[in-house]
Structure 1
Amino acid sequence: MQFKIDTKEKLVIFRLEEASLNAKMAAELEQVIAEIDELEEKNLLLDLHSVQSADEAGLKAIFTVYTRQYERERSAAVFGLPKDLSRELGDQYPEMLNIVPTESEAIDMVMMEDFERELDLDDEL
């Protein structure tokens, strides 16, 4: 599986550089992302601009990676998918709210959620 990781102050951008996300790659995607230590403290942007097709296991892997971030009390966003795959992902997993076309929109979404979490923590003090 070909990918790149770009770490920023509050973000990890994971760029999958494969045209197809099938069952075999889905398991590898989940494992590789689970092993990124920075995701314990940073938000995840999943850049899927290279992906042109995905099977059911591939879509489930995207959802699994996404929900894992929220279980860590961090945010995630998926961007760059073709419209048909974005629609299919949203239809299969309607609880995935952060599926957007561009990286800048993905950054805005996770940073807004991060800011909201900080405000909630401040209110509790």
Structure 2
Amino acid sequence: MKVLTEKQEALTIIIVDGNIESADDSALISNAISKVDDGFENIILDLSSVVSIVNSELFGLVEIQENFETEVKSFVLCGLNNNLQKALDEKFDEDFFNIVPTRNEAVDMVYMEEQERSFFN
């Protein structure tokens, strides 16, 4: 599995290339998120190249989501295939994660959430 990053204004896209099958794979994702420069940013996790994820590794995504909620930043998942979507749906409420079909929609969601936060600050 490889993890690539792509920076844009106000967000970083983390692209996972390969399946998430072990704690080491989850650690790679967490490490990529922790290395994002300029402090805590919005993150899009692009899982379009991931075919499967081991159930035990789903909870790593929960920890990441909870950290982003605490920091009042966006964490958006995109590109999930039906199997990944089903695995998340079986374990978590459908509203727990921000999930959209495409990377473009994820970028739009981040910018909309940023605008929304600016209205309430």
Query: TM-score, normalising length from structure 1?
Result: 0.83
Match of 1:107 in 2: 107
> How many percent of aligned residue pairs carry the same amino acid?
29
Number of aligned residue pairs: give it: 120
d(CA) in 2 for partners of 1:82, 1:39: 31
User: 1:42-121, aligned counterparts within 5 Å?
Assistant: 42-94=41-93, 95-121=95-121
Q: CA RMSD in A?
A: 1.8
Residue 34 of structure 1: CA displacement? 2.0
The unaligned stretches of length 5 or more in structure 1 are: none
Point out the structure with the larger helix share: 1
CA spacing shift, 1:93–1:37, aligned 2, 3 Å: farther
User: Where has structure 1 moved over 4 Å in runs of 4 or more?
Assistant: none
- Name the residue aligned to 2:12: 12
Gapped runs of 5+ residues in structure 2?
none
Matches of 1:59 and 1:97, distance apart in 2: 11
Helix, strand or coil for the counterpart of 1:3? strand
Q: Deviations over 1:61-93 (max 9, x none)?
A: 222222222222111100111112113213312
